[in-house]
Amino acid sequence: MSSVVIHDPTLRDGQHAVRHQLGVAALRGYAEAADAAGIPVVEVGHGNGLGASSLQVGRAAVSDDVMLSTVREALRHSKMAVFMLPGWGTSDDLRKAVAHGADVVRVGAHCTETSLAERHLGLLREEGAEAHCVLMMSHMATPAELAEHAARAVGYGARAVGIMDSAGHLLPQDVTDRIGAMAEAVDVPLIFHGHNNLGMAVANSVAAAGAGAAIIDGCARGFGAGAGNTQLEVVVPVLERSGYATGIDLYALLDAAEFAERELMPAPPVTGSLSIVSGLAGVFSGFKHQVLDQSARAGVDPRDVFFELGRRQAVAGQEDLIVDVVAELSARKAAT
């Protein structure tokens, strides 16, 4: 069998679904369960990464320092990972994360703006951390463009590079084309991180592995923004049946998923109407709460907001654009 490394961002990406309110007991409990299952890498943090706790995107229940120290203590075998977006996190945040024992540090960048990650990837190389670069909103770039930016990221110091289907917009052939092009351009492990807006996250993950991805992301019960992420306890056995060894204990994985459903989330994510619309529109699922809140106050249809954001090619970090779109739609409604 070929093998893939499973990377579990339940304690980071899942934060979006609960407005970043996971506390110490939840963090520790899930980290222990994931470690017992043999999940190779467990990622933790605010949903938007290091340094992102703020009024704009939501304050976390506990600080980055507390999150990292709690999970580090709970992991006896698994590596600990963190995520950082330039503009939210800083070089100091990266140094602190490494000091807390982060084994893997992912730097995110919009799919055509890899240069924004150059300084941070260089710093991580100097610090001796395993630096990864993930290209976000990957449906907005062609396979050739993604291959070019993957090569740049490796040149900056990334030891793995990959794509996030941040809006859950891609179909399996789209994933195959993108990962395949990147595999021809770089000789480091490739990453795929899927979202389930159109119900394709598991299929897309298998397609990614078939095209050469060696690192596949998944969250317990799909815990994540909107329709959620690739469902971890589903994708692992599906990958195993497809010929990819993960090294994860199935029963312990299912136990971890049950803990997550019981202790981390009010309910597992579903592919609801608004998630489908955001996937079709190609808009980041993490906008869901802000879109719902702003639309309700203004009395406009949140589906219209998502499609307008898609037309404007809104990306993570442009949450302020939601206010502008809602105001314009409200004005149009009042004028009719």
Q: Model confidence over 204-251: pLDDT tens digits?
A: 999 999 999 999 999 999 999 889 999 999 999 999 999 999 999 999
Closest by CA to 235, choosing from 195, 187, 274, 273, is 195
Contact call for residues 10 and 220 (beta carbons, < 8 A): yes
Q: How many CB atoms lie within 10 A of CB 69?
A: 16
Share of the chain above pLDDT 90, in %: 92
Provide the pLDDT confidence category of residue 262 given band limits of 50, 70 and 90: very high
Q: How many CB atoms lie within 10 A of CB 92?
A: 10
Inform me whether the pLDDT recorded for 253 exceeds 80: yes
Q: Provide the pLDDT for residue 320.
A: 86
Contact call for residues 303 and 274 (beta carbons, < 8 A): yes
Task: Give CA–CA dist 183/206, Å, rounded.
Answer: 16
Inform me whether the pLDDT recorded for 317 exceeds 80: no
Contact call for residues 245 and 3 (beta carbons, < 8 A): yes
> Would you please indicate which residues are annotated as catalytic (active-site) residues?
16
Q: Provide the pLDDT for residue 34.
A: 98
Task: Give CA–CA dist 308/329, Å, rounded.
Answer: 9
Show the CA angle centred on residue 59, arms to residues 315 and 308, nearest 5°: 25
Task: Give CA–CA dist 194/226, Å, rounded.
Answer: 12
**Per-residue DSSP letter, 20:** T
Provide the pLDDT confidence category of residue 336 given band limits of 50, 70 and 90: confident
Closest by CA to 139, choosing from 278, 4, 6, is 278
